[in-house]
Amino acid sequence: MVKEKGLEQIMTLLANSGIPELGPGPRKNVLPHQELEKSLAEILSQSELDSLKSDLIRAVVLLWHDRLDAAHGIAQGIEDADGSFIHGIVHRREPDYGNARYWFRRVGEPDFFPNLAHRIGALLDSKGASTLKTELVVDGKWDSLAFVDRCQKVSTRPPADPEVMLLREIQGLESEVLLQHLFTS
């Protein structure tokens, strides 16, 4: 029950700022860094999570709020699939696509990828984006490298471009599914 409440509180921190841009930001509606850190400390201290998961969650939330340097500092010190996944997202958003690919290759196929593939597939189905789905969800598996390629391809388009907006939704699902995984595994 405590973990469920923690996840709910973390998701509220994300919802208040909207889905991040594909690039580094900063957006106007993100929480100030100190306020964010204070909220995270309060939520995570009551979550009953170990320090590794707390650090990973903190990195995801900081990244969501365009604190790429802070998220990077955490992720680079965590040498597992979850840390590499966050590290890859940081570099994809910088944008440093080559470095992002390196980190996503290190991720492998963590146990949250099937859920991520399912959620992204459902989103793309609901948007009638079957071509994009076949590119990003291959044989029911999430292809984070293909997503990096797609983000790079649209990087010069305006934020209101429909594909950019759809890719932002996918990026949001990455964080949401990862957070659910961290709170429940």
Beta-bridge partners for 141: 138
Beta-bridge partners for 147: none
Distance between CA atoms of residues 5 and 167, nearest Å: 28
| Beta carbons within 8 Å of 80's beta carbon, 6+ residues apart | none
- Strand, coil or helix: 142: strand
What confidence tier does 82 reach under pLDDT thresholds 50, 70, 90?
A: very high
With beta carbons less than 8 A apart as the criterion, state whether 31 and 16 touch: yes
> Would you state the pLDDT for residue 79?
94
With beta carbons less than 8 A apart as the criterion, state whether 173 and 119 touch: yes
pTM for the full model?
0.96
With beta carbons less than 8 A apart as the criterion, state whether 38 and 32 touch: no
Q: How is residue 31 written in tokens?
A: 């929480």
CA angle 105, 111, 113 (to 5 degrees): 60
Residue 1 has pLDDT above 70, yes or no: no
Q: Which residue has the higher pLDDT, 115 or 2?
A: 115
12-63 residue pLDDT tens: 999 988 899 999 988 888 999 999 999 999 999 998 899 999 999 999 999 9
